[in-house]
Structure 1
């Protein structure tokens, strides 16, 4: 966590002094090689996103692809969209745009969910077939992109769903009167036969803003239709906004007090974007020009470094450990240095409650998705378990990702899922250790010494000579010449040769060379 020290004076914008207190800010550090976005809520780093030109995300992009393989056993297909790895398309996500699709016409498909109708993937797709798809999940690890044929186009206030005739409203708008009013407005202004979803940020939008968004989306869809008709396969049809413009579309809600960016070119680009889609935000966007780097001034660099560590300390002195595998993530809660004041049950309960809030923050910050298992400290009280569950449910409400949480088990385990649409922060910023190949552990020094001894003993009768030289890492040389000195002498007697230990800094600690002198 990163509280601002003593409500410190931060920066000066437009000749007015700005104090950093209980606020929500979007900070964008933009460079040619990398753009980083930090969402800071009340002085705490809540979300972190980054985009590199060499590793640009694909989510939201629309492609004209070609089916390369149909898998009846999995009811799915691999689709070539022009990337290194083919995309993956489930039968539930298959639909087709009308063959006679024209500009200005609805793109509705009469079919519904193929699986509920008993239609199989092999009845719908065949190898070599062209198909229009959109990326719903970026490639993660060894897996290709997840694809769908159900196209959606987001704008600031609305999401256009050209293949449906449906009006939806974000679940986070819980005022039923407002929900109905928004539905009524969309019904009055939308073209016949197309669908829209009203986004959470539209809660305070005017009718004119909704109309402007709708007009933009309809024009964009017509442009996509034209591109589809002329595109070859595989080919990119539509590319989603970059992270700078997405900051306004996806993160700049009514709760955000300001957006600060440190690149003048992107600053002007942002101003042009909000002038069209959200003119009321114009005065909330500032250009950062101080010599101290933006992320250093807000202490973001330190928080990013902490966000890829496995151990997260709690204020009480307890801590959580976060471990991720390809299949799931495991979070373990420990009391650590926290010993409490009254009794053990109270100490455990307070640690679990604090951990629940921190875990919710860490899942969001690190963008951890998929299956998640949380091992809270076991509690005897059923009332305490219920309070912990309710606390955790409340803590994850700030998270925009879809979350499903099961009740605490008697062992204190929580099983949950969080929608995974892109790589988590650890995957984005780290790579497998070239020492341990991602195992997280290497052989101990003593184990390596004993490996050497065994190998020396196996070669006793195979060579002549009086000496053998061991080229080893300096840490292995140290243990051979000190702690294992007696054992080394015994091995010398067994093989009938003098052993010379040569320290070599250029060797990996697990690697060594045995050089037999003739």
Structure 2
């Protein structure tokens, strides 16, 4: 039987700071933690009228101000055509130009936030894009599912936009898919209309609260329950899910003054463990996880494992256990970018291949794309994970 997940939405004090937390529980463990400030909002996903302040042709980049004092990086190498507020004879970017942009990546460490002219409007089933004018599909959808959805959307997608079909679409009815497509088009047209009349630095569309985005991005077929002990969060979740096949019924309001929700699910301990460098495995082995400026490095060790059986078989089992735990920890800590993993050396080629496939299988369960790239001659496994938000450690550092 497939094990389902549970989303916990609550408030708590962490190191004397009140925060809002969205935590995902699966297999009896917390696999995802999203701490949020009770006061400030994220700019990720917001759409602005920005102004070009500087252009660096040698790195094919422009620097665009979206609010007073908030500068962003814009890649001139991206295929998206600039969406200028005022009509221009050509698409050549110049200092002082005002254009519609969307924040596509948060500022991480010393890097500025990224903005793009490719506007994305995300729903539960579909993503509408202003530049990628084609029909794309989630890699997790089966061939037959893609064929069925393609038939539904055929001749329904306007020529001036593209659509990406999300994994959740496999559970949707035709009318739900087409209704969401219509709603996404209305949002896109509203942004373009506002862009003609608003002044520079205006917010043309504000992204949904982060906890609603988390709810939107979860694969609904695996979600058993959403539980919260805050009335406002309960009402918001119910309201959002009303349009999706009575899914508001999975939202539960928890009331127990003696045992708050964050204590029931031991979130305090989950935060502490997610910041430890060392992670123990059931076999007695352990991981050492370190985040550097350039990449994440993970070392797999035999630790207390003292099996007297064939050593290569012992190493194989520890590595396979470590592969599952590494995928879990990457999601929990939201570690992304370049990840280098030093597994225990394996001699047999078939064991190495099994390890690579196992790691990719577990990375595939993450909502954020992770890819096993290769194993080097030094037996270092190279992995990439899409970078969208700050890591958990960086989020907590900003909040506390």
Alignment TM-score, normalising by the size of structure 2: 0.91
User: Is the 8 Å Cα contact of residues 239 and 248 (structure 2) preserved in structure 1?
Assistant: no
- Structure 1 81/270 Cα, relative in aligned 2: closer, same or farther at 3 Å? same
C-alpha change, 1:131 and 1:98, in structure 2 (3 Å) is closer
Kindly indicate whether the alpha-carbon contact (under 8 Å) linking 2:51 and 2:96 is maintained by their aligned counterparts in 1.
Answer: yes
Q: Deviations over 1:98-130 (max 9, x none)?
A: 7689xxxxxxxxx9xxxxxxxxxxx72111111
Q: Which whole-Å CA distance do the structure 1 matches of 2:354 and 2:159 have between them?
A: 49
Question: Hey, what does 1:132 align to over in structure 2?
Answer: 100
Count of equivalent residues: 391
Corresponding residue number in structure 1 for 2:112: 144
- Residue 88 of structure 1 aligns to a residue whose secondary structure is strand
Deviation at 1:338, TM superposition (A): 1.0
Contact 1:261 1:287 in 2 (8 A): yes
Structure 1 residues 31 and 133: alpha-carbon distance in aligned structure 2, compared to 1, 3 A threshold: farther
- The residue aligned with 1:16 is none
Structure 1 unmatched ranges of 5 or more = 1-20, 102-110, 112-122, 434-518
Q: TM-score, normalised by structure 1?
A: 0.71
Structural mapping, 1:329-408, within 5 Å? 329-408=296-375
Q: By how many angstroms is 1:280 displaced?
A: 2.0
Whole-angstrom distance in 1 between the partners of 2:298 and 2:250:
38
What SS does the corresponding residue of 1:407 show, helix, strand or coil?
strand
RMSD: 2.4
Separation of aligned partners in 1, 2:96 and 2:118: 20
Closer/same/farther in 2, CA of residues 69 and 241 from structure 1, 3 Å limit: same
Within 2, Cα distance between the matches of 1:339 and 1:364?
A: 30
Secondary structure in 2 aligned to 1:426?
A: helix
Equivalent of 2:195, from 205, 228, 238?
A: 228
Distance 1:430 1:344 in 2: 42
Post-superposition Cα deviations, 1:413-439, rounded to whole Å, max 9, x if no partner, equal 1112111111101111137x9xxxxxx
The 2-side partners of 1:154 and 1:194 are apart by 13
Aligned partners of 1:287 and 1:345: how far apart in 2? 50
Residue equivalent to 1:468: none
CA deviation vs aligned residue, 1:19-46 (integer Å, no higher than 9, x gap): xx94311111147953211111121211
1:89 equivalenced with 2:55 (yes/no): no
- Structure 1 residue 74 displacement after superposition: 0.4
Superposition map of 1:464-503 within 5 A: none
In the TM superposition, 1:112-511 aligns within 5 A as: 124-174=92-142, 176-251=143-218, 253-275=220-242, 277-291=243-257, 292-430=259-397
Is the 2:316–2:351 Cα contact (8 Å) retained in structure 1? yes
- Alignment pair present for 1:57 and 2:38: no
Q: Is the 8 A contact 2:279 2:288 kept in 1?
A: yes
Distance in 2 separating the partners of 1:417 and 1:244: 25
Mapped to 1, the partners of 2:136 and 2:291 lie a distance apart of 35
- Corresponding residue number in structure 2 for 1:487: none
Instruction: Indicate if the aligned counterparts of 2:283 and 2:318 stay in contact, CA closer than 8 A.
Output: yes
How much does 1:55 deviate?
A: 5.0
The worse-fitting range, judged by mean Cα deviation, of 263-272 and 198-207 is 263-272
Which residue number corresponds to residue 105 of structure 1?
Answer: none
User: Which is richer in strand?
Assistant: 2
Which residue pairs with 2:5 in the alignment?
24
Q: 8 Å contact 2:83–2:101 — kept in the other structure? A: no
User: C-alpha distance in 2, partners of 1:60/1:412?
Assistant: 39
Q: Which has the higher contact order (CA 8 A, sep 6+)?
A: 2
Corresponding residue of 1:107: none
Aligned counterparts of 1:301 and 1:345: Cα–Cα separation in 2: 38
Off by >6 Å, runs of 4+ in structure 1: 98-101
Distance in 1 separating the partners of 2:354 and 2:240:
45
